[in-house]
Amino acid sequence: MMMPQFEYTDLLWLLLLIPVLTGIYLYARQKKRTAFKNLGDELLVKELTAGYNTSSFIKKFLLLITAITLLLLSIANPRTDKGSEKISRNGIDIMVALDVSKSMLAKDIQPTRLDRAKQLLGRLMDRLSNDRIGIVVFAGKAYLQMPLTGDHSAAKMYLSSATPETVPTQGTVIADALKMCFASFNAKEKKYKAVILISDGEDHDENALKTAEQMAQEGVVINTIGIGSAEGATIMDETTNELKKDNAGNTVITKLNEEELMNIAEKGNGNYQLFSNTDAVVNKLYDQLASLDRRRVTDESLINYQSWFQYLLGIAFLFLLIELFVNEVKVNTRKKIKTALTLLFLSIASCSYAQKEDATVKKGNDAYKLNDFNTAITKYNEAIKKDEANTTAQYNLGNALYKTDKKEDAVNAYDKAAANMKLPVEKSSALYNKGVVLQNDKKLENCITSYKDALKQDPNNADARHNLQIALKKKQEQKKQQDQQDKKNKKDDKKDKDKKNPDDKDGKNKQPKPQPSKISQKNAEQKLQALMQKEKDLQNKLHKVNAASPNTPEKDW
């Protein structure tokens, strides 16, 4: 069992009332003693106060001060995370690099290469229950679709949404995909890491083999799966509903490049498989991954605290009841019993309300574990309606909304949970989850801010630090790509301008005013010959530039 913690730590300052009340008690006791002495004859005073029990005053104070202490502690809500769902297991980290270029829409593998690749990965995930899985999709660029997680239901959800539209730039940059997979791993570990690359291998870049070899040196095993056929197939252009054609007007035939995928697997110390049968490929791939060294990992998917304030309230009211029956002087016993029963009823009612509220959250958690996320959302909202400051319900609501792909609502739920949470560790957890949602929603700037806020609350949050590094690296890459594109556009604009005005590089194309000739006919002929030679040299130079820069069509499938 974990050590208890207080949800509302800022209310613990109310415990300062205890020494204040103790001081008031000591002062009152001293005043009583002084009053007894001032009443008159000591023997007469003792006779008059014979029915007064001096020890009762001390007993009543101790009972009262204990009850007040328990009440103040219950207000701060002591709780433990005994009910949290933690899963410990032996596993490895697996990054899936999935090719989503338009060539994966070819139908030489029915229904399409991409559909069959998704089916294969879905069945593999069902068997990798002890491993963490992340997804990178790539075409002309590579994107982190989902960071490493033990939540395989979320991984399947993101896998199903992977389409060519996910990556607007077409092509096949396997090297970039491998680099992004490597950046998603824990750099401190030299094993327990594997990559599954699924592609048709067409038009792969020359840096892929070098990248695979470097990753193998860092303990990453790369398995490749070739999907397609050597004969190839045509691609249907969804915009025109006609067969895809290249810039020369020829029908595109996309073919499987087995040799390159084999070389990548060899450099990455893994295996290559040609897709033929889903179950056969899954079985062989699973056996290969199962042979790798594994280490113990722990995942925590829900924060489900056990509150103890109701028990402190019950004990406090019990002490108050006892205090009522401790007599300094004789009082009406019937009246005390009636008062005690009233207080007992109020205590039971308070505990019942708290248990009812906790039961609603528990029902939501039970539905969440069964992947019935819509029911879980309903139950969490019921608990929040009763108590808007219920951080457990708010946090778990964010998790459930995230699973149903309601990203904006999930972000709002995490914001509300973080605003009401008192412990920095809890705030950090909520802000980290918010960052993950924003990162998957491709809101890079916002997710970076969220990860930074999480680290401000808890500098030891390793997951937030790791994802922040990935996000910052991605931002730097985007900026570099944008700078290169701007530079290229500027260069192209200048080249177009030079082609339009080859003799007007200074932008001055004004006709000079005729002036009276001040040179001899011989000098004029020499200058004319020099100008003609310059014109000839310029034409030769332009011819060489045009020959060195052919307009090569780019691949867009």
Per residue in 86-106, pLDDT tens? 556 678 999 999 999 988 999
pLDDT at residue 310, rounded to an integer = 86
pLDDT at residue 531, rounded to an integer = 63
- 3 state SS of 431: helix
pLDDT at residue 267, rounded to an integer = 93
Place of tokens 């301008």: 497
Per residue in 362-421, pLDDT tens? 888 888 888 888 998 998 898 888 888 888 888 898 888 988 889 899 999 999 888 888
| CATH H superfamily, domain 86-301 | von Willebrand factor, type A domain (3.40.50.410)
Domain ranges in the chain are: 1-84+307-331, 86-301
CB 98 within 8 A of CB 158: no
CA distance 249 to 5: 70
Q: Could you read off the pLDDT tens digit of each residue along the chain, which spans 557 residues? A: 456 778 778 788 888 989 998 898 888 888 877 776 666 556 655 655 555 566 777 888 888 899 999 988 888 888 876 654 555 667 899 999 999 998 899 999 989 999 999 999 999 999 988 889 999 999 888 999 889 888 888 888 889 889 888 887 877 889 999 999 999 998 888 888 999 999 988 765 678 999 999 999 999 999 999 999 989 999 887 777 888 887 788 888 999 989 999 999 999 999 999 998 999 999 999 999 988 887 776 555 455 667 788 888 889 889 888 888 877 654 444 454 555 455 455 445 444 444 455 788 888 888 888 888 899 899 889 888 888 888 888 889 888 898 888 989 999 999 988 888 888 888 888 898 999 999 888 888 999 999 899 888 888 888 888 888 888 888 888 888 888 888 888 777 777 666 665 555 454 444 445 445 455 666 666 666 776 676 566 556 544 534 443 333 355 66
76 secondary structure, DSSP code: T
Listing DSSP states for 460-505 in one string gives T-HHHHHHHHHHHHHHHHHHHHHHHHHHHHHHHHHHHHHHH-TT-T
pLDDT at residue 297, rounded to an integer = 61
CA distances from 469 to 32, 34, 95, 536 (A): 69, 72, 17, 57
Q: Please choose, from the candidates 404, 431, 549, 423, the residue with its C-alpha nearest in 3D space to the C-alpha of residue 488.
A: 549
CA distance 417 to 431: 9
Q: Other C-beta atoms within 10 Å of 52: how many? A: 13
Q: Fill in the amino acid letter for 75.
A: I
Q: Fill in the amino acid letter for 326.
A: V
pLDDT at residue 27, rounded to an integer = 86
Q: Fill in the amino acid letter for 233.
A: A
Residues contacting 75, CB < 8 A, separation 6+: 8, 11, 14, 309
CA distance 178 to 212: 7
CA distances from 260 to 353, 441, 470 (A): 66, 33, 28
Q: How many residues does the structure list for the chain?
A: 557
Q: How many CA atoms lie within 13 A of 319 on its CB side?
A: 18
CA distance 437 to 460: 21
Q: Please choose, from the candidates 450, 442, 463, the residue with its C-alpha nearest in 3D space to the C-alpha of residue 144.
A: 442
Q: Which residues of 231-258 are buried (b: 16+ CB within 10 A; e: fewer)?
A: ebbebeeeeeeeebeeeeeeebbbbbbb
Average pLDDT taken over every residue of the chain: 79
Give the DSSP H/E element, type plus range, for residue 322. Answer: helix 309-325
Listing DSSP states for 145-186 in one string gives EEEEES-HHHHHHHHHT--GGGS-S-S--HHHHHHHHHHHS-
